[in-house]
Structure 1
């Protein structure tokens, strides 16, 4: 096993950071690492916005509800971006581009490009001894999220990543068994998946009962039933239409 794989397998979400801020050089290196991620047709359909203004962080915390939106070494926001590709085109050419720009396919491309870049940044950060935490909670009010960042049409804010020097070391949360997520040649039977989930339920239940903080008695199945039985963030669909994304 090499050091890259060790870094990946030792991932844990960090929510408590020391006060030390990232240097400009560190920030640039992380963004450069993000840029080297694979991208569909070299579109690079994402934008990364660094948040250093305390007032902006306060506004974002109101949406998220999490203290580590403010208390971190640096906050990165990842956006799906299909605005930039239009800027080099004349008005006539741009109008011809809209069918593709506003298509579901390109919306998927933008989301994938942003996620790949974000994962590159995360692995790079952890390899530097930093900790990270993804912040999907910023979509709790996606319209306000977008307003704060002053995003134009064809750009959607997806998530944040808080990065910094860890001030705690939580246990690594176990994942589903590999047989639940990797399959050869075709999708597995429901019986096989149910069996794998049952095995994982026991493992994650034991983890929650014995971890050092926030102990509880809960299985993955119980968590998923609760999550998908309560509708949240349904405004995201209307917002994407407003941004003229995923329209066709």
Structure 2
């Protein structure tokens, strides 16, 4: 029988839902919300393993046909890491044979056919909460990887020590910069055009004086005649 849990989100058990089908995700979230679970969603197999290690959920509900790392291998990596999480596979009916094999290999508590309904989960809920089976597929996990997949490298690889750099040679002393020579400023000479202008003004003044003096002499002669 399903129910809505009254516990807070901090106290609620966590279910990690791993699927890339949005309709399936919405259905699973609603089903497990009614059972009082806090839900975490992941759509990628590789990322799901990292989330499993970080969250340590009580239950993992994982689709077999997910990108990057299929659900079977992702479940084996989770089991290899350890923890007491229960794994429940979900798969379309066309992958039923693979789901049966993956459930046994990864030590899952069971599998359900998509699309998931509340009634399906209720039927196997006691099995989900039962003991966690062994995972015999862990012995063959390396053989299950695709050939083109990069397998994780061991952590005990030691890099060669770095060679010491040669010492730097002494730099030559900086040459002294000579003091700037003081420039001698010669006094400016008077411009020649000023002298010429002065001479011209003298001649003009003399001519004006002669002109006015001639008018005076002319007036004197006319008065005498």
Q: TM-score, normalised by structure 2?
A: 0.23
Q: Which has the higher helix share?
A: 1
- Give the greater-gyration-radius structure (CA): 2
The higher relative CO (CA closer than 8 Å, separation ≥ 6) is in 1
